[in-house]
Structure 1
Amino acid sequence: MKNKIQLITYIDRIGCKNINEFHDLINTDLKGLFGGVHILPFFYPYDGEDTGFDPINHKEIDSRLGTWEDINLLSKDIDIMADLIVNHISAKSYEFKNFIEKGKKSKYSDLFLTYDSVFPKGASKKELSIIYRPRPGNPFTRFNFKDGTKKKIWTTFTSNQIDINVNSKPGIRYLEKIIDIFHQSGIKIIRLDAVGYSIKKRKTNCFMINETYDFIEQLTEKAKKKSIKVLVEVHSHYKTQIKIAKKVDYIYDFALPVLVLDTIFNKNSENLKKWLQISPRNIFTVLDTHDGIGIMDVSSEEDMPGLIDDQKLDEIINKIHKNTNNQSIKATGDSAQNLDLYQINCTYFDALARDETAYLIARAIQFFIPGIPQIYYVGFLAGTNDMSLLKSTNVGRDINRHYYSKSEIKKCLKKPFIKNLIKLMKDRNSHKAFEGQFNLIPSSSNIFNVRWVNNNHVAELFINLDKLKMRVKFSK
């Protein structure tokens, strides 16, 4: 993977109708800005109930967007990351419909995870209560089969997202086939979506248990044989992230978004500095994604302290709500159809009260710390909360999933503020210092100072948090 900034985007929300139009955008208006792109689900259908994360056919590109050949052609010009949706498949898929029609006689019967397969003798209320899921209630949906029987099926996220039995022979073949297609189509890296929920075992919380680590390791080895890197997507306590990082190619730095807000809001860099002293280096850094701003990634868990004191974290959350004029409240928790109750939904620019100076400082911190930076398309254009889209869909995350037109994009790219961001991005992508050694310079809490050194090549970031001013130096 190139050590350059990557774009996270949907094809249809960045002014493009299909993959070919996006390819043109990468080679024109966005030329030279990104070393890679994470294309959010483009499978059939890309506009399902969960914006493509509920595929009817994971092995097929939605024909409205293009073909696998189009993806292959794009991969010649830019590294592509694609989602491997590990945990589930759509209830509208051929495989699940066949299971509903034929029951145990279906060749896909073992592909899906039933209540009985984990709890053959039933489960106590206590066993069910400890199962972790990102929304209230039990993770089961009762389905009516054609023969008149009813059966509980695991549905960790929604009743339209049917959990896969990833350890069954059909489950193994299903995931291996997708990896094969990715390999043939030039995909360089896969993001393991919702993998933390993929292994279920009685008397556990069914989230990131020991067997899950084994499964991730096995899946990573299969991808490596196809020359595909693996990025694991898990929101969890920071110690869990450190543990996962030892077994895979890359993980996300989901702690960073809130740590940067903490640094800027409180004019204190101590929590961020402490994290940088222990954080994994095989990491993708983000401030924003298609999901919300993660809270559990920095909070405490049972008797384990978090990266930020819980009381201070509450203050940060309230500050975000205040900065967004409470728009984030309307999109977060049970205020809208949210799957993830541990995230705050709003744009990162709005979280910083649309303060251009603070926003550039936040991006500079992201670009200067270890890891491969990813920038979400809304964040790249410093987008604001889309309250109209939120109102029309009542889906909390849609507040940060604006549909840009080509003219909107061109207008944004002309803004002096965005031009400054682009200059910073180009320097991050091209300067040789970032291939060298990272140094966290000792400083007082109101200062954040880091330096990269690669022989005679030096890049340095110095931020005075009291004055909210930064100085960026690049050797020639």
Structure 2
Amino acid sequence: MKNKVQLITYVDRLTGSGIAELTDLLNQQFSDLFSGVHLLPFYYPIDGSDAGFDPIDHTQVDSRLGNWQDIKQLGRSHELMADLIVNHMSAQSKEFQDVLTHGKQSTYWELFLTKDKVFPDGLTNELADKIYRPRPGSCFTTFEFANKETAEFWTTFTDTQIDIDVMSDKGQEYLSRILNTFAANNIKMIRLDAAGYAIKKAGTRCFMLDETFDFIDQLSKKANALGIETLVEIHSYYQTQIEIAKRVDQVYDFALPPLILHSLFTKDVSALVKWLTISPRNCITVLDTHDGIGIIDVGPMEGKAGLLTNGEIDNLVETIHFNSVNESKKATGAAASNVDLYQVNCTYYDALAQNDYDYLLARAIQFFAPGTPQVYYAGLMGEKNDMTLLEKTNVGRDINRPYLTPSDIDESLEKSFVKAMIELINIRNTCNAFNGNFNVKGEESMLTMSWDNAHSSAVLVIDLTDRTSSIEIKEASRTYSISLQSLLY
């Protein structure tokens, strides 16, 4: 994948239509902005219980968006990333429906993971307490078959998302079929969704085990053999993330978004500088995504110090709630239907109290951080919390999953800070320095991030106390400086 800015988007929520319309948008209004696109689930159906992350058929494009030929066409102009939903599929899938009809006699029985497969001698309270889970309550859901017998199936996220036995022959066949479909249709990178939960083993946390690394490695090799790179999506302790990065193609830098917020809120860059000094270089950077703003990635874990203390994290979360006028509170944790409790659901723009300058500072830091930047469609357009959609669905993450129309896009492209962000994207895409060596320095409220590559350099200097900032670019043929304030006004 090219080291240039990429877009993250749902097809229908950005275009109001399908894949062909997205292709037109990327080649017209967004021309030359994004080298690649992470297409959030476009499988059948896009409107399940988890916005496409619970596919009934992972190899079928939802016909409301188009077909595989449309995907292939888009892939001719942009490098495409798609989600390989490793851990589960919909309870409405033909495979699981066959299990409900035929029970253990089903052809697909071994495809799904039951409690008995992992705990043949029974699940004690002690064993249950060890299991790491992203939501409160049981990891299992009881289903009744046509013959009235029952079984408890692993349902890590919701009771409509049935966990796959990825180590079974059927599980391996299922994943290989998806990979082959992707390879045939110009998908160049896959995001391994929920891969950390894929392997379950009695007596463990059933999360990010040594066996999980082995599974990810094997799956990545299969993908690589088909010309597909892999990105692992895991929220975890920051030092664990560093170790994970050594064993995979790419990881997300999930520590960056909360650390930038913390720096802007407190005018103290020390935690951010510490992280940027040691963070993985083979990473994808984000500020916002279709999920919430992660918190676990910077906090303490099991007695080990985090990048932020518990007190600093409490302040971070409460400041987000305050800045968003408590809208984020209505979408986070038990306040709404959520499949995780370690994220704050809020647009990044609202987390910064809709302050255009602070938002531009955050984007500048992201674009100068090591890794390949991705920009979420709602963040690109500077969208505010979608309280109407949240009230309609009561799905916490929908607060940052708006449905836009072509007129919404045209209006947003006239916003001064959207124009400023597009200018930052162009700098990130065209300056050769970003393919070189990175350096970061910081003292209290002063942050300096720089890149050097042969005859090119790029330097970002921010003073959070004085609220000043500048970018200096040196290329072989010219040198120029800009202030972020000047981009806005």
Paired residues in the alignment total 475
Whether the 8 Å CA contact 2:337–2:394 is kept in 1: the answer is yes
Q: In the aligned structure 2, how far is the partner of 1:48 from the partner of 1:116?
A: 28
TM-score using structure 2 length: 0.96
Counterpart of 1:113 in 2: which secondary structure?
coil
Give the aligned residue type for 2:312: K
Residue 183 of structure 1 deviates from its aligned partner by 0.4
Q: Determine the structure 2 residue equivalent to 1:358.
A: 358
Q: Secondary structure at the match of 1:407?
A: helix
Residue aligning to 1:438:
438
Asked if the contact 1:16–1:22 (Cα under 8 Å) also holds between the matched residues in 2, the reply is no
Q: Which runs of 5+ in 2 are unaligned?
A: 479-489
CA RMSD for the aligned pairs?
A: 0.8
Aligned residue number for residue 22 of structure 1: 22
Matched, 1:300 2:293: no
Aligned amino acid, residue 65 of structure 1: L
The equivalent residue for 1:463 is: 462
1:101 CA displacement: 1.1
1:186-231 CA-to-partner distances (Å, cap 9, x unmatched) read 1010000000110000011101111111111111111110110000
The corresponding residue for 1:267 is: 267
Q: Aligned-pair distance for 1:276?
A: 1.1
- 2:296 aligns to what SS in structure 1? coil
Q: Gaps spanning 5+ residues in structure 1: where?
A: none
Separation (CA, whole Å) in 1 of partners of 2:439 and 2:123: 52
Deviations along 1:212-260, one digit per CA (max 9) or x if unpaired, are: 1111111111111011000000111111111111111100000001000
- Residue 40 (structure 2) aligns with: 40
CA contact (8 A) 2:349 2:379 kept: yes
Query: Per the alignment, in what secondary structure is the counterpart of residue 281 of structure 2?
Result: coil
SS at match of 2:471: strand
Matches of 1:127 and 1:102, distance apart in 2: 30
- CA–CA distance in structure 1, aligned partners of residues 21 and 44 of structure 2: 19
Alpha-carbon deviations, 1:420-469, whole Å to 9, x = none?
A: 111111110111111111122x3422111011111111111000110222
Residue identity matched to 2:448: N
Name the counterpart of 2:151.
151
* In structure 1, C-alpha distance between the alignment counterparts of 2:467 and 2:185, rounded to whole Å: 45
1:358 touches 1:468 (CA, 8 Å); kept in 2?
no
> 1:39–1:81: 8 Å Cα contact kept in structure 2?
yes
**Which residue is equivalent to 1:240?**
240
Match of 1:384 in 2: 384
Look up the SS of the partner of 1:208 in the other structure: coil
- Does 2:194 align with 1:173? no
Q: TM-score if structure 1 supplies the norm length?
A: 0.99
Is the Cα contact below 8 Å between 2:43 and 2:59 reproduced in 1? Answer: yes
SS in structure 2 at match of 1:339? coil
Give me the identity figure in percent. 52
Q: Quick check: 1:219 aligned with 2:228? A: no
Instruction: Give 1:16 shift.
Output: 3.4
Contact kept, 8 Å, 1:16 with 1:406, in 2: the verdict is yes
Whichever residue aligns with residue 130 of structure 1, its letter is K
Counterpart mapping for 1:364-403 below 5 A: 364-403=364-403
* C-alpha distance after superposition, 1:323-354 (max 9, x if no partner): 00111000101000011111000000000001
Matching of residue 320 in structure 1 with residue 320 in structure 2: yes
| Cα offset, 1:177, TM superposition | 0.7
Letter in 1 for 2:174: Y
Which is worse superposed, 238-247 or 346-355? 238-247
- Pick which of 239-248 and 191-200 moved more: 239-248
**Equivalent-residue separation in structure 2 for 1:45 and 1:358 (angstroms):** 37
Task: Compute the displacement of 1:10 (Å).
Answer: 0.4
Q: Secondary structure at the match of 1:314?
A: helix
Residue identity matched to 1:11: V
> In structure 2, how many angstroms separate the alpha carbons of the residues matched to 1:428 and 1:154?
43
- Aligned residues of 2:233 and 2:251 also touching (Cα < 8 A): yes
Q: Where has structure 1 moved over 4 Å in runs of 4 or more? A: none
User: Within 1, Cα distance between the matches of 2:91 and 2:421?
Assistant: 43
